Each structure stands twice: as structure tokens, then as C-alpha cells.
């Protein structure tokens, strides 16, 4: 799977990017691990960059979970975003599966619709696996997921999220 997209950057220029499997770009495992650990892992005492790297190495597949998709800038051939489909994402909701997880876009590319295309792409992957309902947890990005059609089904306070709480979302697909 390679899906070609284009967005308009803040200078008005077209920026083409592809959405590809991490399995096709295993050289990007370290970038995914660094993004995930830097954004979410540093807030958890049992997390490490090496654990994140090992998990994203497992995400280098196309026909089973966990898997990760990347947005690749076609001009630079560098990754600019990611999204994953994981069997589990949180111990607090152990009966929920599968999860949209690790949605990340590099700061300079935010606001261009890349996260939306990545989430749409991972939902298509979930459909391919026969999934009817998908879960996601969010804190400060909750409004973005509401705009993507996810609905809130639970909420809990936490000291590891910038928003002070985590929201459990789901979406029928």
C-alpha cells in the first residue's frame, strides 16, 4: 500500500507525501520510537526509549497487529508522521481492542491535515482486519478526534497527560 497525498503548507506551496507501511521503511523505526517515547513515554516510569524501539520493530508488518503507517515527505523522503493499530494501548481499559495509537505529526507539519489522512488510512487497515469498532485514548488532542468522528465513552484523571485526564474514544467503522 502506498497512498499519495498532497497538502498545502503554510507558505502556500504544495507538499506531496505518501502514506506507507513501516514494514516498507524499517529504517524509520528509530524515528517512530523517538517520537513516541518523547511524546508519551517519558511521562511513564516503566517506559524507555529501548522498549519503544522494540515495540515499533514489532510494528514492521502488514498482515497482523501491531502495525504502523508513516507519512513520508516525497521531497525529502523523511518521515513526517505516524499512526499505529495496536491490540492494546492502555492497562486502564484492558477489555478494549484494537486501538488507534501513536498518532504523531512533526510540529512543522501540524495543521495541514496529515493526522487526519493517517487516521483515515489506519481505519481502512482496521476494516481490512474485519474490525467493527476501534478505540483511542487522548488527552490534549481530544477535540481533533471528535472532529474525526470519534465519540467519548469514558474519562479518567491522570497525572501523566498534559490535559490532566485521558478520554477513551471509540468509533464504529
The secondary structure of 22-80 as a DSSP string is GGG-GGGHHHHHHHHHHHTGGGSTT--HHHHHHHHHHT--SSSSSEEEEEEETTT--EE
130-153 pLDDT, tens digit per residue, is 999 999 998 888 999 999 999 999
- Domains of the chain plus CATH, in order, are 2-130 (3.40.630.30)
Is 60 exceeded by the pLDDT of residue 12? no
- pLDDT for position 102: 96
87-136 pLDDT, tens digit per residue, is 988 677 888 999 999 999 999 899 899 999 999 999 999 999 999 999 99
- pLDDT for position 42: 80
Amino acid at each position: 500500500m502506498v497512498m499519495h497525498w498532497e497538502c498545502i503548507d503554510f507558505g502556500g506551496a504544495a507538499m506531496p507525501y505518501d502514506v506507507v507501511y513501516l514494514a516498507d521503511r524499517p529504517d524509520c523505526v528509530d524515528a517512530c520510537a523517538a517520537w513516541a517515547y518523547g511524546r508519551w513515554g517519558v511521562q511513564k516510569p516503566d517506559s524507555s526509549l529501548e522498549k519503544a524501539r522494540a515495540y515499533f520493530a514489532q510494528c514492521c508488518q502488514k498482515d497482523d497487529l501491531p502495525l504502523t503507517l508513516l507519512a513520508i515527505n516525497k521531497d525529502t523522503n523523511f518521515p513526517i508522521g505516524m499512526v499505529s493499530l495496536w491490540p492494546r494501548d492502555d492497562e486502564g481499559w484492558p477489555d478494549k481492542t484494537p486501538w488507534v495509537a501513536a498518532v504523531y505529526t512533526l510540529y512543522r507539519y501540524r495543521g495541514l491535515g496529515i493526522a487526519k489522512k493517517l487516521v483515515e488510512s489506519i481505519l481502512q487497515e482496521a476494516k481490512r482486519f474485519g474490525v467493527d469498532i476501534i478505540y483511542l485514548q487522548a488527552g490534549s488532542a481530544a477535540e481533533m478526534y471528535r472532529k474525526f468522528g470519534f465519540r467519548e465513552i469514558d474519562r479518567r484523571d491522570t497525572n501523566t497527560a498534559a490535559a490532566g485526564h485521558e478520554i477513551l474514544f471509540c468509533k464504529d467503522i
